[in-house]
Homo-oligomer: A and B are copies of this chain.
Amino acid sequence: MARALNNPLAVSLGDPAGIGPEVIAKCWDHRDSFNLPPFVAIGDPRSVAAVWDGPIEVIDDPRQADSAFDYGLPLIQLNALRSDVPGHPSVAGAHTSLDSLEIAVGLARSGSASAVITGPIAKEQLYAIGFQHPGQTEFVAERCGVSPGNVVMMLAGPTLRTVPVTTHLPLKEVASQLNSALIESRGRAALRGLQRNFGIAEPRLAVSGLNPHSGEGGQLGLEELEIIAPAIAVLVAEGWRVTGPHPADTMFHTRARANYDAALCMYHDQALIPIKALHFEDAVNVTLGLPIVRTAPDHGTAFDIAGQDRADPRPMAAAIRMAAENAIQRAESA
């Protein structure tokens, strides 16, 4: 990738006992074939050394990352309480992962880093040390001074982007949590994100129905008529290119995907089933609605395989590459 960014990307290592350190180090190994620009890892170098034999270039300042990147994995060192064993998360490791996230976001906020990519964390451990957010996304939003309600999660792969309107809800609560205002606000955030992060001047959004066959004219549910279609009408009246509600089962085949830039889906699995079926190795979680660019691989800490040299670095590479592309896009249109 052309070094079109003025500053490196900041990558938080995530939980030191998870697969974050391993996949980030492997990304440096394969930086040429993965087509990655210079990035700097933030965390405990011992968590990298425990799972990887390559060279680590400890630096103090992100400005050193560009030249260090040719010789080793640039890393800003945290003073971790103790070293963790891969696969065995601890409260000390939670402190390290939170510090890593805090510094990485801070570097992006200050402009010292062009974007932030977050490695996977273990929420249970973080809750044990007083972390109050549902996930890293909400933490990043707060640090950026943005209400969590105004950021949206997009899952982006090479041929499909999806945005869920509702996320971590029991399925039976989805219908009662949907309302037109929520669909409109998620839709606007998705459309603006397609413009800002992806450089699509007139983005096309396809909105799914909630029920089988999109409710079949009211025979299989009324949410399409009462909630979703009115929200689409509002967005269209604002000048956006929005279509739907579409039956969710026929939205995701090759020809259908050519008709839109992102699909707005009503619930978690409606958005995540198609993106992971089609793009499991390179789907990226992109947070839209922030003043900074933030991406993440769409996998967890995978403690069960940590430290065994089995973790696949491709999702992390896709997240780093997309962060770079989004940051370049934003810089060009700024």
Contact = CB atoms under 8 A, between A and B. Distances in A.
Contact of A170 (B221, B250, B270, B276): B221
Count this chain's copies in the assembly: 2
Interface in A263-277: 267-270, 272-274, 276-277
A255 B255 CA distance: 24
Interface residues of A, number: 38
Contacts of A210: 171
Interface in A135-189: 167-172, 174-176
A269 B254 contact: no
Contacts of A226: none
Given A212-B268, A248-B273, A170 B220 contact: yes
Contacts of A269: 212, 248-249, 270
Contacts of A168: 212-213, 216, 220
A280 interface: yes
Contacts of A277: 252-253, 273-274, 277-278
Contact of A171 (B170, B211, B216, B273): B211
Contact of A274 (B170, B172, B267, B274): B274
Given A269-B249, A277-B278, A280-B253, A172 B175 contact: yes
A280 B220 CA distance: 23
A249 B276 contact: yes
B220 A169 contact: yes
A174 B248 CA distance: 16
Contacts of A255: 280
Contacts of A267: 212
Contact of A172 (B213, B221, B248): B221
For A215, A254, A268, A269, the residue with the greatest tally of chain B CB atoms inside 10 Å of its CB is A269
Interface in A226-285: 248-250, 252-255, 267-270, 272-274, 276-278, 280-281
For A171, A210, A274, the residue with the greatest tally of chain B CB atoms inside 10 Å of its CB is A171
A277 B267 CA distance: 17
Nearest to A170: B221
A234 to B, nearest CB: 22
Contacts of A276: 249-250, 252-253
B170 A211 contact: yes
Which 7 pairs between the two chains have the least Cβ-Cβ distance?
A253-B280, A170-B221, A172-B175, A249-B272, A252-B277, A212-B268, A274-B277
12 contacts: A169-B220, A170-B221, A170-B222, A172-B172, A172-B221, A212-B272, A249-B276, A250-B276, A253-B281, A273-B273, A274-B274, A277-B277
Interface of A: 167-172, 174-176, 210-213, 215-216, 220-223, 248-250, 252-255, 267-270, 272-274, 276-278, 280-281
Given A170-B222, A273-B274, 15 more contacts: A168-B213, A168-B216, A170-B175, A171-B212, A171-B221, A172-B172, A212-B267, A212-B268, A249-B268, A253-B277, A253-B280, A255-B280, A274-B277, A277-B278, A278-B278
